[in-house]
Chains A and B, each alone.
Chain A
Amino acid sequence: MKMLLNPARYRLESSPVPDQQQEEDEILGEVSIPDPELLIKHPLHNRWALWYFKNDKTKDWHANLKVVTAFDTVEDFWALYNHVLPASKIAPGCDYSLFKDGIQPMWEDERNKRGGRWLINLNKRQRNMELDSFWLETLLCLIGEAFEEQSDDVCGAVVNIRNKGDKLSIWTHDATRNEATMRVGRTLKDRLNIPRDITIGFQAHSDTMTKAGSTAKNRFVV
């Protein structure tokens, strides 16, 4: 089931295969076109949407939430990522979310409401040091399906930019799937290179919703 994709390679060829560069020069003469490999977009397993939540207190929560763009190829992901501000540069109170297309980045969504999140709390210093690389790594895990079989358990990820400390979380679909949840957490911790002695916790959205404070109890830790 697990399979790293070795992207298929196609190139323009005439029948025998001599030196490729020379051959292309012959075929194409003065016209130089880039390696076709560079012009082929690589499809993602899922279509994803990047969301932006703006902290505008004069507006309703839902009105502050906007889709930036959806994409379903590796190249379209980078075209978007390369042209939006990194997480560390958006205003405090704002969020980025990346969710599978069709899932809204909110607890109430049908695919989220029984789920929960692996939560990583960052201190103030980490905004400059680690936030952007953590967020990018998380995005790459999502679009590359790094959770393998558990990728279907994953709905998306959120980064909350907050003055009191930024938060990064991966949201899953079903908080009662113990084994799958644990595997997602281990993969995340591993990919973000979080030291062994630091634990991260998983909270069910239902617990977070009913809790008045900001700390729901951890259902799991890794």
Chain B
Amino acid sequence: MSGLSPNEKKMSGSATNIPIRRVVLNDPSAMPADYSTTPGGTLFSTTPGGTRIIYDRAFLMQCRNSPLTKSPPPNLPRIPGVTCPEEKAAPQENGHGRPPAPQKPPQNKNENGDEPQFEMDI
């Protein structure tokens, strides 16, 4: 990876194009079952002397609203104040319904134009 000193890296710097392979699929069934795999194998980038996967800001931001980001991670723990709103009291006691007072409206949530935090969308 980055075992080389900067000098060594410069010396090995003959430019090589990223290998690109186009894979033709004629039927959706040829798509890999796994989202993280691309047809014909996954090859993102190769650099001389090693590989580092670098994403610039624009690309990362562009992925923000991908359909794959709309649901929380499947194993996301329930942490009040982090992954769900802070709760003042246990919401559902046996025999009682919800506390009569409606929960405080979430404050300032959309103020900065962010998406609602806990939206689920399947």
* Contact (Cβ within 8 A) A143 B83: no
A84 CB, min distance to chain B CBs, angstroms: 6
B:68-94 near A, CB below 8 Å: 68-73, 75-77, 79, 81-83, 86
Kindly list chain A residues whose C-beta atoms are within 8 Å of the C-beta of B68: 38-39, 41, 75-76, 78-79
B48-74 vs A: 1/0 string, CB under 8 Å?
A: 111011111101110110111111110
* Contact (Cβ within 8 A) A149 B47: no
In the complex where A41-B35, A152-B1 touch, is A4 in contact with B73 (Cβ < 8 A)?
no
B106 CB, min distance to chain A CBs, angstroms: 9
- How far, in angstroms, from A52 to B82 measured CA to CA in the complex? 8
Kindly list chain B residues whose C-beta atoms are within 8 Å of the C-beta of A38: 66-68
Stretch at the interface among A8-16, A201-209, A212-220: A8-16
- How far, in angstroms, from A124 to B56 measured CA to CA in the complex? 30
In the complex where A5-B44, A42-B55 touch, is A149 in contact with B2 (Cβ < 8 A)?
yes
Kindly list chain B residues whose C-beta atoms are within 8 Å of the C-beta of A40: 35-38
B12 CB, min distance to chain A CBs, angstroms: 9
Kindly list chain B residues whose C-beta atoms are within 8 Å of the C-beta of A66: 77, 79
Q: How many residues of B contact A (CB 8 A)?
A: 60
A135 CB, min distance to chain B CBs, angstroms: 13
B42 at the interface (CB under 8 A from A): yes
A164 at the interface (CB under 8 A from B): no
B6 at the interface (CB under 8 A from A): yes
Which residue, B23, B59, B69, B115, has most C-beta atoms of chain A within 10 A? B69
B:3-18 near A, CB below 8 Å: 4, 6, 9, 18
| Chain A interface extent, by class | 35 or more
Stretch at the interface among A86-94, A101-109, A110-118: A86-94
B24-35 vs A: 1/0 string, CB under 8 Å?
A: 111110010001
Kindly list chain A residues whose C-beta atoms are within 8 Å of the C-beta of B23: 10
A62-78 vs B: 1/0 string, CB under 8 Å?
A: 00001011010111101
Q: What are 27 contact pairs spanning A and B, CB under 8 A? A: A2-B47, A8-B20, A13-B25, A14-B26, A15-B24, A15-B26, A36-B31, A38-B66, A41-B68, A42-B55, A43-B36, A43-B42, A68-B76, A69-B73, A71-B73, A75-B63, A75-B69, A76-B73, A78-B69, A80-B72, A83-B76, A83-B83, A84-B117, A85-B83, A90-B81, A144-B60, A146-B57
Q: A3-B18, A79-B73 are in contact. List 13 more A-B contacts (CB 8 A).
A: A1-B4, A1-B52, A4-B59, A8-B43, A10-B23, A14-B26, A38-B67, A41-B36, A54-B81, A74-B55, A74-B63, A85-B82, A90-B82
List 10 tightest A-B contacts by C-beta distance, closest first.
A78-B69, A83-B72, A144-B55, A75-B68, A45-B53, A41-B36, A79-B69, A145-B54, A74-B63, A69-B73
